Amino acid sequence: MHPVEQHQGNANVGRCLNRFRSYEPNTDTFLGYDGRYNPGNSPF
C-alpha cells in the first residue's frame, strides 16, 4: 500500500490510490483486468 499522506496535494493520485490496488503513482498507471497498464487520470 502506498502512503497517502505523501500525495495529499494531488487529488487525482489520492483518488487512484483509493480506487485501484495496483495503482503506481510514479507512472500514473494501474494494472487492468485485461493485463494492460492504463492511465490513472481522473475524469474530474
**How far, in Å, are 16, 17, 28, 34, 35 from residue 12 at the CA level?**
6, 9, 9, 22, 22
Output the pLDDT for position 10. 77
Note if the pTM is more than 0.85.
Answer: no
More confident residue, 10 or 37: 37
- Convert the pLDDT of each residue in 13-36 to its tens digit: 888 888 899 999 888 899 999 999
Q: How far apart are CA 19 and CA 6, in angstroms?
A: 17
pLDDT at 40 over 90: no
How does DSSP classify residue 5? G
Output the pLDDT for position 2. 52
Q: How far apart are CA 12 and CA 17, in angstroms?
A: 9
Q: Which residues pair with 24 in a beta bridge?
A: 29
Output the pLDDT for position 29. 92
Output the pLDDT for position 22. 93
